[in-house]
A and B are shown apart, each in its own frame.
Chain A
Amino acid sequence: MSAPTTPGTQTSTAPAPRPPEVQRVRGSRRHEIERRSLRILRWVVIIGLLIVTLLPFYYMVLLSLRPIEALLRNPSSLIIPPAEFTLSSYQQVLASTAAGGQGFGRFIANSALVAVSAVIISLIVAVPGAYAIARLPFFGHRQVNALFLAAYLFPAIVMAIPLFVLFTRVGLRGSLVGLILVYIAQTVPVAIYMLRNYLDTVPVAVEEAGLVDGLTRIGVLRRISLPLVMPSIMATGLFIFMIAWNEFLFALLFLVERRESWTVSLGLSQLSGSAEIPTTVLMAGSVVLTLPILILFFSTERLLTGGLTAGAEKG
């Protein structure tokens, strides 16, 4: 195939031989049909997917703001008449059990404690680790890297049984500390993978300049590389927060018997099975569970998605 000349360079050379006229007409008509239907199809796809992705979230918010009686009377309504609007579901779900609520206030505190601790400790451990993998040629470099990748890909259900037994034996099951430990182990490999991609973007020459000026490796990491990738470290931290906040299986296995230690995810899943609690109240619980994550995610979206898909551009 001869390379097409770009419009700017096409000056004195003779025009390339064109295909026969008949074919061009047939081709262009087919193109026109395809182009038009694709233009329509594209908007059908976009609008269809928008409805499918947004409707459940809209429905969640909608139900949390309507009284249960109104929902049962008119289940298919997609708007809230002003007279029906109420925040009582939120009051009920957040109030402590002593005050007749569902105690989600407590669950939020637990979730926040677990997630924030996991973020801080994971980052303290993973930043140096990622730097070592990105920059330092130590013995067993490849093996360690493969181990982390495998740990990242290994699913929770396979890890659940041995960790359940292990943590029961050391007496950490049923405590938030045990859960934090598991979350650290679950998030460190992802954090290393993301941070490595970010640290790779720091030019080696900048670091070498620091070394020449008499800094140690640790000094280079602290004074040069870390400040340069600080926004990315924040993004990684937020990603860890999301994983820990959303996690369900280990919270279920470790904490199910102790209501005062439940996380929001566990609380919602446990209470959604009971018939006494109105769906609208639990929907308020869902909103409470979902909102922090959405705010965090969309405030850092660009950085996060960039770090996760960094390998994909290379194809």
Chain B
Amino acid sequence: MSALPLRPPRRRTLSQRDARTGIALMSPTLIIVLAVVVVPLLWSVLIAFQQLKLLEIGTANPFRSLTLANFERVFASGRLWVSLGTTLVYTAGSVLLSIGIGLLAAMAVRRPFRGRNFVRAAFLLPYVAPVVAVTFVWRTMLNPQFGIVNEVGQSTFGWADPIPFLSEAQRTVEFLGAQFPIPTALLTAIAFEGWRYFPFAFLFLMARLEALSAESEEAALVDGASPLQTFRYIILPQLMPVIALLAVLRTIWTFNEFDDIFLLTGGAAGTGVASVRVYEFLTVQRNVGAAAAQSLVLAVVLVLMLAVYLFLMRRRGERL
């Protein structure tokens, strides 16, 4: 891990020549980010207030009249709230699961052992592998006809029927005599997210654990704290800032996640998160205005979360 020496953000001798060079070196990046990120975003806001069909996008005047029709369409029919609710459950479940597994994994490989490097590398696999490939493998493994999960489930665990993990919206599970409805496909998608993103939490937590000083733990040991108490009162509090940061980052990204859900279920079977709805507005209904309006709703939620993130960074004393 490269440790960064903290240096003051401004040099004592604030040379004007440096400032000019700085702007010159900076400008290509700035131009690209402005041209391909900022300007399109602003344009997207404009489109959200215009009637724009997919067929018209090559010819339409960018400054045509404004209307609220897209937002009426997005907010009408209650599907927005259903999809936002689904997104919320999906996000909360995925973030909790990925950070939870990441923490377990980081604690488990904390002390050196033979093969530690191999285990570390293996734990990173789900995160670095291409999303299209891993979703395809999951779909094949969970396939009701020849997938290995259902095959083993039926032959070894005595399932009566194969479970259509990715195409069933809901099933009732009997547990202790009571019946619980559970959203099968959504839970499978959450499990996938936990699997795919725990390495991200694992990496950050491991980096933090390596940097912890041994002194406070030794002191706790001398004072008679048990291993679990040491974890609860000494280690966990020191990990909390990183966990908070991870939670915010993962929430921002999962809330807007499109690839994973789209490739796993296509947004069917009760997994229609908000980002899939943007895609549907664009390609199925061919209504660019409504798609932009829906993505604007997502962007507003995102900006709120970004504000929280920046606030946390500032509180940690991070240089922006």
Q: Which of B134-142, B166-174, B177-185 is the contact stretch?
A: B134-142
In the complex the two chains form, is B11's CB within 8 Å of A248's CB? no
Flag if B302 contacts A158 (CB, 8 Å): yes
Residues of B with C-beta under 8 A to A242 = 128
Interface readout for B15-51 with A: 1 if CB under 8 Å, 0 if not?
0011111110110111011011110110110010000
A98 at the interface (CB under 8 A from B): no
Q: How many A-B residue pairs have CB under 8 A?
A: 327
Q: Is the CB of B151 within 8 A of A76?
A: yes
Chain B residues with Cβ under 8 A from A42's Cβ? 107-108
Q: Known contacts A4-B218, A201-B2, A268-B132; decide if A313 and B211 are in contact (CB<8 Å).
A: yes
Q: Is the CB of B40 within 8 A of A272?
A: no
Which B118-151 residues have C-beta < 8 A from chain A? Answer: 119, 121-126, 128-134, 136-141, 146-148, 151
How would you classify the secondary structure of chain B's contact residues: helix, strand, loop or mixed?
Answer: helix
What are the residues of chain B within 8 A of A268 when measuring CB–CB? Answer: 132-133, 136
Pairs A-B, 9 closest by C-beta atoms: A136-B22, A138-B22, A185-B36, A155-B256, A162-B40, A129-B29, A128-B25, A162-B44, A313-B211
Sample of 15 more A-B contacts, CB < 8 Å, known A137-B18, A160-B282, A315-B208: A3-B219, A42-B108, A53-B123, A56-B141, A129-B30, A136-B25, A139-B23, A151-B33, A153-B309, A162-B292, A166-B40, A268-B133, A282-B136, A306-B2, A315-B242
- Chain A binding site: helix, strand, loop or mixed by DSSP? helix
**Given A31-B226, A306-B1, CB of A249 within 8 Å of CB of B22:** no
Determine if B292 and A161 form an interchain contact, defined as CB atoms under 8 angstroms apart.
yes
Please report the C-alpha to C-alpha distance between residue A218 and residue B25 in the assembled complex, in whole angstroms: 9
Find out whether the CB atom of B275 lies under 8 angstroms from the CB atom of A157: yes
- Pairwise interchain contact A125-B29, C-beta atoms closer than 8 A: yes
Whether B71 sits at the interface, judged by CB under 8 Å, is no
In the complex the two chains form, is B259's CB within 8 Å of A248's CB? yes
Tell me, in angstroms, the Cα distance from A125 to B131 when the chains sit together: 27
- Name the A residues within 8 Å of B21 (CB-CB): 132, 136, 216-218
